[in-house]
Amino acid sequence: AQSVSQHNHHVILSEAASLELGCNYSYGGTVNLFWYVQYPGQHLQLLLKYFSGDPLVKGIKGFEAEFIKSKFSFNLRKPSVQWSDTAEYFCAVSLNRDDKIIFGKGTRLHILP
């Protein structure tokens, strides 16, 4: 069955540190990949998505992600985090032939001021 793994459950960083959150999926076909963010007390919002083309995807708020097909990975990066990036981040995958998205279990990011 299709699944999504996020390696880090909880990450704590200081402001200005670089961020990389891991995401791996287990499906060999054509996939669409997403990163969503959930700020405290809020609903999920899309950060970025990949479905074709350039494997390096840029999203909102300075985030980017790289799709590496050979590694089944879609890691999220940000060169310099801010306190306002404190949130929970979810990786998600869908198949082209499917109508639903599978979410990872999330990574809680805490930025120290």
Q: Which residues face 36 on adjacent strands?
A: 46, 90
β-pair type (87-95, 107-112): antiparallel
Taking CB under 8 A as the rule, does residue 7 contact another protein?
no
CB 94 → another protein: shortest distance, Å? Answer: 4
Task: Count CB atoms within 10 A of the CB of residue 10.
Answer: 10
Only one of the segments 18-26, 40-48, 54-62, 63-71 lies at the binding site for another protein (rule: CB under 8 A); that segment is: 40-48
Taking CB under 8 A as the rule, does residue 72 contact another protein?
no
Q: Phi, psi at residue 53, to the nearest 5°?
A: 85, -145
Q: Alpha-carbon Rg of the chain, whole angstroms?
A: 13
HSE of 81, CA atoms in CB hemisphere, 13 A: 22
β-pair type (87-95, 45-50): unpaired
Taking CB under 8 A as the rule, does residue 45 contact another protein?
yes
> Which of 19/102 has CB closer to another protein?
102
Taking CB under 8 A as the rule, does residue 44 contact another protein?
yes
CB 105 → another protein: shortest distance, Å? Answer: 4
Taking CB under 8 A as the rule, does residue 106 contact another protein?
yes
Enumerate binding residues for another protein (CB under 8 A): 9, 32, 34, 42-46, 49, 51, 90, 94-96, 98-106
